[in-house]
């Protein structure tokens, strides 16, 4: 695995400490090359690679490397308990897997929020959770209605820095981002904090780089919320996920909406970014 220039100074300046390295995750995170290649060398493979159980397809196992452990990190570290109502912002691969994890941890009701029909349809059909279209309804009001006025016990944000919102806030966030007055658009985090029940937990799985504006810190303090976030903890959750995949408790094939050769990488990434043709995830098959 080739290492390019590592620049831990970037994260030291942004976050007070360097958090270490990840494969294929920028100079700031170790400068390690990623795995979009026909062959890769895996250092310390006894630590960083996992055997796929017999009978688990590639299309299923692939998602045990990222979306599923990220979803598990959110639901487990937010301490979802049996009987909880859990709201998940974002119906991409990560949000869908967070919803599935919450259901398997015993949540009584799980509601996933997005605006894309095809993604919300996947949530209902393949995950078994309820959905809300944030362009159709007032999300915090609906969540209060569902929970008898309290708000969800756990709110998981799986949207990240490129969040969208239909209101004027979107323009404000775009402008302040372009003017470098904030680095990220925390739209869904704000909504999750305000929607969460008193004493509940808000967990950010979406990736954020630095500083945000209009952050409802008063709600965090006065509502006694627990606010957490994390990079996914693959080593901790992948064995359990593969085991559940082998028992058909976790299905991911539907996420692979576009399968293409590795040479089509730029096209696949563009389709994913623009959500072209209903793309949820582009999957590359070397040699295909």
Ligand X SMILES: NC(=O)c1ccc[n+]([C@@H]2O[C@H](COP(=O)([O-])OP(=O)(O)OC[C@H]3O[C@@H](n4cnc5c(N)ncnc54)[C@H](O)[C@@H]3O)[C@@H](O)[C@H]2O)c1
Contacts with ligand X by CB under 6 A lie at 66, 70, 89-95, 113-116, 119, 134, 158-160, 163-165, 187-188, 205-207, 231-232
Cβ proximity of 156 and 75 under 8 Å = yes
CB 82 to ligand X: min, Å: 25
Secondary structure letter of residue 108 according to DSSP: S
CB 22 to ligand X: min, Å: 9
CB 102 to ligand X: min, Å: 15
CB 97 to ligand X: min, Å: 8
Would you say 71 or 200 has its CB closer to ligand X?
71
Q: How far is CA 263 from the centre of its chain?
A: 26
Would you say 200 or 234 has its CB closer to ligand X?
234
CB 249 to ligand X: min, Å: 20
Would you say 28 or 163 has its CB closer to ligand X?
163
Q: Which of 237, 285, 203 is nearest to 66 (CA)?
A: 237
The three-class DSSP label of residue 97 is helix
Would you say 107 or 195 has its CB closer to ligand X?
195
Pairwise CA distance, residues 204 & 215, whole Å:
13
Would you say 47 or 83 has its CB closer to ligand X?
47
Cβ proximity of 71 and 100 under 8 Å = yes
Closest residue to ligand X, judged by C-beta, is 160
Cβ proximity of 236 and 260 under 8 Å = no
Pairwise CA distance, residues 190 & 89, whole Å:
11
- The torsion region of residue 229 among left (phi > 0), alpha (psi -120 to 50) and beta comes to beta
């Amino acid at each position: 695995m080739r290492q390019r220039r590592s620049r831990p100074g970037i994260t030291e300046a942004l976050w007070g400490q360097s958090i270490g390295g990840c494969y294929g995750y920028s100079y700031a995170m170790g400068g390690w090359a990623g795995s979009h290649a026909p062959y890769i060398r895996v250092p310390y493979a006894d630590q960083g690679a996992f055997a796929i159980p017999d009978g688990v397809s590639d299309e299923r196992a692939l998602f045990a490397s990222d979306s599923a452990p990220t979803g598990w990190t959110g639901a487990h570290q937010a301490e979802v308990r049996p009987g909880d109502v859990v709201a998940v912002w974002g119906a991409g691969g990560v949000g869908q897997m967070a919803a599935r994890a919450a259901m398997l941890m015993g949540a009584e009701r799980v509601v996933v929020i997005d605006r894309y029909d095809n993604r919300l349809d996947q949530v209902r059909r393949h995950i078994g959770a309820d959905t809300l279209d944030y362009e159709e309804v007032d999300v915090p009001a609906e969540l209060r209605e569902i929970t008898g006025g309290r708000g969800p016990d756990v709110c998981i944000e799986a949207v990240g820095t490129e969040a969208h919102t239909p209101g004027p806030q979107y323009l404000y966030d775009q402008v302040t981002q372009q003017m470098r007055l904030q680095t990220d658009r925390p739209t869904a985090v704000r909504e999750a904090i305000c929607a969460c029940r008193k004493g509940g937990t808000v967990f950010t799985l979406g990736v954020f780089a630095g500083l945000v504006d209009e952050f409802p810190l008063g709600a965090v303090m006065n509502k006694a919320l627990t606010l957490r976030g994390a990079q996914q903890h693959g080593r901790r959750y992948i064995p359990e996920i593969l085991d559940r995949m082998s028992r058909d408790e976790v299905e991911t094939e539907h996420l692979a909406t576009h399968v293409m050769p590795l040479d089509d990488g730029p096209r696949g990434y563009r389709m994913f970014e623009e959500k072209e043709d209903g793309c949820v995830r582009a999957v590359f098959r070397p040699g295909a």
